[in-house]
């Protein structure tokens, strides 16, 4: 099973229910996304004082939970407001959904317990992966 197939399996139920969030996830994780890829997102967590939380998702142990309010603190209100507006939802609703999805997704993107060298790919790569998921592809 490939890394992307594992990721698809891990988040299939959540992302199928919230298909519009695939663009947001791509923007957060893609090398050419708004955050500067997974490394940039980890930096944002570190800057917000939540490096230990994201490190638990990357590591091989249990994933620490995160709240929607903490996601808002990490990402900033402007980014969430803009993304939520595009999706037709409230920013708090989006941050709650991200808090449910990001731990498992980042955990699956880092199966060896460390950030992949070169990141996780560009938005096209990630959208292809998430697009397969949205069309019912499961591994």
Looking at 3.30.9.90, 1.25.40.10, 1.10.10.690, 3.50.50.60, the CATH number of the domain 3-134 comes to: 1.10.10.690
Count how many Cα atoms sit within 13 Å of the Cα of residue 135 in the half-sphere of its side chain. Answer: 6
Q: What residues have CB less than 8 Å from 65, skipping those under 6 apart?
A: 99, 103
User: pLDDT exceeding 70 applies to what percent of the chain?
Assistant: 73
Average pLDDT over residues 12-25: 61
Question: How far, in whole angstroms, is CA 16 from its chain's centroid?
Answer: 14
pLDDT in tens, 78-112: 889 999 998 999 999 999 999 998 998 888 888 88
Q: What residues have CB less than 8 Å from 53, skipping those under 6 apart?
A: 45, 64, 66, 70
Count how many Cα atoms sit within 13 Å of the Cα of residue 35 in the half-sphere of its side chain. Answer: 26
Average pLDDT over residues 33-44: 89
């Amino acid at each position: 099973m490939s890394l992307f197939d594992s990721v698809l399996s891990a988040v299939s139920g959540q992302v199928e229910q919230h298909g519009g969030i695939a663009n947001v996830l791509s923007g957060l994780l893609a090398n050419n996304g708004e955050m500067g890829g997974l490394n940039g997102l980890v930096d944002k967590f570190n800057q917000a004082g939540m490096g230990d939380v994201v490190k638990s998702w990357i590591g091989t142990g249990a994933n620490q939970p995160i709240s929607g309010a903490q996601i808002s603190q990490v990402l900033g209100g402007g980014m969430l407001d803009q993304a939520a507006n595009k999706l037709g939802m409230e920013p708090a609703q989006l941050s709650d959904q991200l808090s449910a999805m990001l731990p498992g997704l980042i955990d699956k993107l880092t199966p060896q317990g460390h950030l992949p060298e070169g990141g996780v790919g560009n938005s096209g790569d990630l959208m292809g992966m998430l697009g397969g998921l949205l069309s019912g592809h499961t591994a």
